[in-house]
Amino acid sequence: KAGVTQTPRYLIKTRGQQVTLSCSPISGHRSVSWYQQTPGQGLQFLFEYFSETQRNKGNFPGRFSGRQFSNSRSEMNVSTLELGDSALYLCASSTGTGQLEAFFGQGTRLTVV
Amino acid sequence: GENVEQHPSTLSVQEGDSAVIKCTYSDSASNYFPWYKQELGKRPQLIIDIRSNVGEKKDQRIAVTLNKTAKHFSLHITETQPEDSAVYFCAASKGGGYNKLIFGAGTRLAVHP
């Protein structure tokens, strides 16, 4: 059974640009959550998508958005990039119904210059 | 608000010793408490979890305890080995299938041979 796959693994962008990250969950999992990991702030919840709907949202500005497709793959988008957006972005896959375990992808390392 | 405090931030032990990491959560509605291990450059990996209807859970050298009244939960690692060296994160969730984890700041564990 394939694990959680995130693409790309690394990205370098310039301030003001936008970026799209992708996450393919474990087969059969319908929930995808996104997290930002930085040395200073740790692991912070961005949002969760379940069955193509945003079900939970963290305290991030509107520049951070996401969506989920009918095959449960999810994308997150960050517009008007700032230097402070440099981080490891992780997604976590879960069934979203009852079973609580969440499994992480290997992450996308975003560097904003 | 939702908050999880984790202590200590760093922990250094000799091989064979025990290690204990403690977390406190603020939201009394939390009912699922996973622990993740993250090695350098790798994804967080679920190592053990506990639900609010259980006071203790063991898996070989790892155990987790939960005190709902005090809103405390702890990770215990016995007979530590150098390969246990990593950053450990506790987290809390309201469950119900929701894939939203509130993480502690992490504990960097170093096991010295």
pLDDT in tens, chain A (113 residues): 679 999 999 999 999 999 999 999 999 999 999 999 998 888 999 999 999 999 989 999 999 999 999 999 999 999 999 999 999 999 999 988 876 789 999 999 999 99
The predicted pLDDT at position A95 comes to 87
Test mutation, A100, A101, A103, A108, chain B, max B CBs within 10 A: A100
- Give the mean pLDDT per block of 10 residues along chain B (113 residues): 92 98 95 95 95 92 96 97 97 83 97 96
* Nearest Cβ partner for B106 among A42, A50, A103: A42
d(CA B65, CA B83): 23
* Nearest Cβ partner for B105 among A42, A97, A99: A42
The predicted pLDDT at position A1 comes to 62
Contact present, B96 and A95 (Cβ < 8 Å): no
* Nearest Cβ partner for A43 among B95, B97, B103: B103
Q: Residue A21: CB partners within 8 Å, gap ≥ 6?
A: A6, A7, A8, A11, A75, A76, A77, A89, A91, A108, A110
Buried-exposed string B70-96: b where 16+ CB fall within 10 A, e elsewhere: ebebbbbbeebeeebbbbbbbbbbbbe
* Nearest Cβ partner for B43 among A45, A90, A97: A90
Test mutation, A43, A51, A106, chain B, max B CBs within 10 A: A43
Instruction: Tell me the shortest Cα–Cα distance from B18 to chain A, in angstroms.
Output: 25
- Residues of B in Cβ contact (< 8 Å) with A60: none
The predicted pLDDT at position A41 comes to 86
The predicted pLDDT at position A61 comes to 97
Cβ–Cβ gap A101/B103 under 8 Å: no
Cβ–Cβ gap B93/A55 under 8 Å: no
